Amino acid sequence: MKQKRRYYRTAALLGPQDAHVYPQGRRSVRAEPRSLHIPWRLLVPTLIVVGFGAWMALGDVWYLMWDDLKVTGIFSAQMEREVKLASDLLGWHRFHLHPAAAEEAILAHIPEFAAVDVSCGLIPTSCEIAVTERVPVLVWQAEGEAKYWVDRQGYVYPARSERPDLPVVRGSLPPEGGAHSIASIQQGLAALATLGVPTMALEYSSERGLIWTDPAGRRVAFGAGSEMAPRWKMYEVLVAHLASQGITPQCVDVRFPGAATYSLDRAW
């Protein structure tokens, strides 16, 4: 009986093959595809934080708008508008609002305010500006068309309207460090008013202080300060004495009662 001849496969019969050499004792393991693992426990809080941050950065509730800014202490719509614009608060994010800086900006822009207080809320973003206006007690008509108000503390600031109820002084404002201060002039006005001298149309001279034109047309220099009673008395005595001698002076200077002078000409 014939036997079937066996053939053994060899590398020569199979052709060129890739050779894989594994370390001794290590077997080849087929790589399995890994499934996608999403860390939900970390992702959800992260998305919440990112969303909250985007809302804080972009949400309208965090920005100060026109209607969210209130102004108290004034009744003029035009002034309210000026205050809002001067504050530089409109349009800013809540965390960029600086009340102290807004107070300084308003006082610098609107000098007739004696005090400004700015307070801001958080959500929704809102601010309130409480202002205290200065109270004028004197109108100062400077040279030209410039007109100012003066408050009790002697603060001078531009007039906003006509105030026919207030005393009026005409002339250049006293220079700083000069012989007269605003306070001494106000004291003089108050003292003259007590003596019955009309204070609605007085003049001011840096040399002679307050000047009044009496009913006879004489110009009378009173100076400044509260000691007006002896000056007024000297004016009455001097005018009466000159009248008895038929002398009609045009200018009378009683700033120094013990050395009063007069002039027959309108020298000042």
Q: What is the CATH number of the domain that holds 72?
A: 3.10.20.310
Tens digits of pLDDT across the chain (268 residues): 444 444 444 544 455 555 555 555 555 556 666 666 667 677 667 767 666 566 556 556 789 999 999 999 987 889 999 999 999 999 898 888 999 999 999 999 998 899 999 999 887 899 999 999 999 999 999 987 799 999 999 999 999 889 999 999 999 999 888 889 999 999 999 999 999 999 988 999 999 999 999 999 999 999 999 999 999 999 999 999 999 999 999 999 999 999 999 999 998 9
CATH number of the domain within which 184 lies: 3.40.50
Residue 237 pLDDT: 96
Q: Are residues 153 and 103 in the same domain?
A: no
- Residue 16 belongs to some domain of the structure: no
Distance CA 193, CA 19 (A): 122
Looking at the 3D structure of the chain, how many domains does it have?
Answer: 2
Could you tell me if 268 and 219 are in contact, meaning their C-beta atoms sit under 8 angstroms apart? yes
- 231 near 255, Cβ under 8 Å? yes
Residues 116 and 197 in one domain: no
**Cis before 124? omega within 30:** yes
Classify residue 165: in a domain, yes or no: yes
Please report the pLDDT score of residue 3 as a whole number.
43
If asked whether residues 181 and 202 sit together in one domain, one would say: yes
Do both 128 and 108 map to the same domain? yes
Question: What is the model's pLDDT at position 178?
Answer: 83
Residue 27's pLDDT is 57
Residues listed for the chain: 268
User: By residue range, what is the domain housing residue 100?
Assistant: 61-133
User: What pLDDT, on the 0 to 100 scale, is given for residue 34?
Assistant: 65
Do residues 260 and 252 make contact, with C-beta atoms less than 8 angstroms apart? yes
Crossing angle of helices 77-87/99-109, nearest 10°? Answer: 130
Instruction: Tell me: do 162 and 251 sit in the same domain.
Output: yes
